[in-house]
């Protein structure tokens, strides 16, 4: 029997598309030390796209 991690099961991004995940993080208004918004960071966008792709496989 596989144990479910409750924190993952209750995550607000579980089952969301890449665009929905980006919107979720956009709502936090995260910025780096230079004032650049997180949702415009290519590395973050790539990470979100990979995460969304992996869960659909």
Q: Taking all residues of the chain, what is their mean pLDDT, rounded to a whole number?
A: 85
The structural domains of the chain, with segments of one domain joined by +, span 6-56
Answer yes or no: are the C-beta atoms of 39 and 45 closer than 8 Å. yes
- As given in the structure block, the two tokens for residue 13 are 């991004």
Q: In Å, what is the CA distance from 14 to each residue of 9, 30, 55?
A: 7, 20, 9
The per-residue pLDDT for 14 is: 84
pLDDT at 1 over 80: no
What's the confidence (pLDDT) of residue 11?
83
pLDDT of residue 31: 93
The residue with greater pLDDT, 14 or 34, is 34
**CA–CA dist 30, 48 (Å, integer):** 15
Which are the contacts of 12, defined by CB distance < 8 A and separation ≥ 6? Answer: 24
Mean local confidence (pLDDT), 41-46: 95
Q: What is the mean pLDDT of residues 16-35?
A: 93
């Amino acid at each position: 029997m596989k144990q479910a991690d409750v924190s993952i099961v209750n995550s607000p991004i579980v089952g969301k598309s890449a665009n929905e995940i980006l919107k979720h993080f956009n709502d936090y208004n995260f910025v780096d030390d230079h004032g650049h918004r997180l949702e415009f960071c290519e590395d973050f966008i790539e990470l979100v796209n990979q995460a969304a792709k992996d869960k659909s496989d």
